Structure 1
Amino acid sequence: MRTLPIGLVQHSCQEDRQANIDKSLQGIRQAAAQGARLVILQELHCGPYFCQTEDPALCNLAEPIPGPATEQFGALAKELNLVLVLSLFEKRAAGVYHNTAVVLENDGSIAGKYRKMHIPDDPGYYEKFYFTPGDLGFNPIQTSLGRLGVLVCWDQWYPEAARLMALAGAEILIYPTAIGFDPADSQAEQQRQRDAWITIQRSHAVANGIPVVAVNRVGFEADPSGQTAGARFWGHSFVAGGQGEILLQAGDQEDVLTLELDLDRSEQIRRIWPFLRDRRIDAYQDILKRVRD
């Protein structure tokens, strides 16, 4: 049996960048101490979720890749012999920025990166103002621990993204995330939103026969513009197995979770549920249309 010990680091964020990084570093060390060899961080873990408002000055938060964060986290990856999944605000060129996941190999080098493809633009989530849509496609990143299908947050709602990663050989789908409630919503509406978030990602695990890992932040973050009630990030980071079963789940507090995944199980699942075998690729042309008129 080929197993992969993984760790999930879920924490709140504040204005102090180094304080946030220190939380991530501490969480990584804790996960490593519990046996993890792959550790995954939440979306944009170096700072607050700044996309609640549109402010050109916030583009100063972006950094190059490689850059300060990959250097600092890379040193820890090498020290602890870990593969790490980071989520950074990438400065690619003057005025061109991406929401980028970076995978660091256990020698501290960059194994690969993924630029977020689906960019939301909703009240409190004005990401189109900051992020250029990704241009690296849906390609798994090869590491010493396996092929990682890394996507980011809003990507997690799209079955096409998960499918393309699986078709390209991803052994696990990974979603660094920053999603929360509008505090003004009712308890029932908040519950529906969180349940939908969990359900759609479990469905990707089922449809593709591979595990899914989602890592979300926690805590309340105010809207600097005062136009909304802010965001209360709901946490509930989780791991789903290849039949959609919940293997591990956090609550809404800061936490470090670890789990040993059986990567060979996907082969057995796909033999009894051969969805990939039975796909009608000759009949799916209309999927390339925005809508069918």
Structure 2
Amino acid sequence: MINNNRKYTIGVLQLELSDDVNENLKKAISWTEKAAKEGAQVICLPELYRSKYFCQTEDFNSFNLAEGISGPSANAFQKTARELNVSVIVPIFEKRSFGIYHNSAVVIDANGEILGLYRKMHIPDDPAFYEKYYFTPGDLGFKSFQTKFGKIGTLICWDQWFPEAARLTSLKGAEVLFYPTAIGWHPKEKDKFGTIQKDSWITIQRSHAIANGVYVASVNRVGLEKPKNEQDGIIFWGSSFICNPQGEILAIASEDKEEILLAEVDLNQLETIRRNWPFLRDRRIDAYDEITKRFLDE
């Protein structure tokens, strides 16, 4: 049954994660229970929540962390969602078949039903973010999901930098864009570039909220993660946040603590803002054909 209320509460879980996949699963369930008690109705976990961020290295054995769509994460959270009457976005390292893996998010509704799957479309390949070694680019396109409480869209981390992804997900009817994330600083760069890097990250996502008239919820992890002692590792900068369709920050977390963030989604406000800032109405869809080209050479 779909909720006819024009308001609902979303929650994001900013967590510090360990090498123990089973403990991370238990922890995520425990924090989901806490969020539900505080009033969250749609809850999102960080990207690849069941392990530390293994993409800092190219390690054949890390493929053993992958699970199927009906694996431990989905099975556990189907039960949790049903018991708590909440919808949950569960990011997984998806094993699709032998040699085919995705960075994905399973969307589970409040009755425990799996509503669908989103596979990360944009796959980075940067120092300590070697995701192309592990993940096949998503092939399901941009999607939205009608939960019991509202219609949501899921994108994942590197997707958050691309306005096209936010636009197409919003055009599918999403009221909220959720971005499960694993992003942080290289320790040697933090002092020089840290402030502008994080500010850029927040700014681009706030701009997606404004340009599309949607709420945005970005969910990061915290802590220093070093896959090997000789590596510098990554300081995950936390700072998970939720903003409204005007880009106003409704809730923001610290850089280094585990936290639950809550915010209300008000569809009346969303409608009012879209009436006053009718960006979707005034799009020149007859003039955008060239956006599908890689680059426009003169």
How high is the TM-score relative to the length of structure 2?
Answer: 0.96
SS of structure 1 residue aligned to 2:174:
coil
Alignment partner, residue 237 of structure 2: 234
Alignment partner, residue 227 of structure 2: 223
Alignment root-mean-square deviation, CA:
1.1
How much does 1:280 deviate?
A: 0.9
Residue among 192, 199, 203 paired with 2:196: 192
Query: How do residues 1-293 of structure 1 correspond to structure 2 at under 5 angstroms?
Result: 2-224=6-228, 226=230, 228-252=231-255, 253-293=257-297
SS of structure 1 residue aligned to 2:94:
strand
Amino acid at match of 1:168: K
SS of structure 1 residue aligned to 2:214:
coil
Unpaired runs of 5+ in structure 2?
A: none
How much does 1:19 deviate?
A: 1.6
Unpaired runs of 5+ in structure 1?
A: none
> Equivalents in 2 of 1:262, 1:284: separation in Å?
31
The answer to whether the 8 Å contact 1:113/1:141 transfers is no
The answer to whether the 8 Å contact 1:104/1:111 transfers is yes
Amino acid at match of 2:243: A
> Equivalents in 2 of 1:110, 1:224: separation in Å?
36
How much does 1:265 deviate?
A: 1.5
> Equivalents in 2 of 1:264, 1:115: separation in Å?
31
The answer to whether the 8 Å contact 1:2/1:264 transfers is yes
> Equivalents in 2 of 1:19, 1:68: separation in Å?
12
Aligned length: 292
How much does 1:256 deviate?
A: 1.2
What are the Cα deviations for residues 131-180 of structure 1, in whole angstroms up to 9, with x where unaligned? 00000001111211121110000000000000001111111111000000
How much does 1:225 deviate?
A: 7.8
What are the Cα deviations for residues 8-39 of structure 1, in whole angstroms up to 9, with x where unaligned? 11111111112211221111111111111111
The answer to whether the 8 Å contact 1:146/1:171 transfers is yes
Structure 1 residue ranges, 4+ long, deviating more than 4 angstroms after superposition: none
> Equivalents in 2 of 1:259, 1:240: separation in Å?
8
> Equivalents in 2 of 1:178, 1:244: separation in Å?
22
How much does 1:187 deviate?
A: 2.1
Aligned sequence identity (%)? 53
Amino acid at match of 1:92: R
How much does 1:45 deviate?
A: 0.6
> Equivalents in 1 of 2:207, 2:259: separation in Å?
25
> Equivalents in 2 of 1:65, 1:186: separation in Å?
36
Amino acid at match of 2:242: V
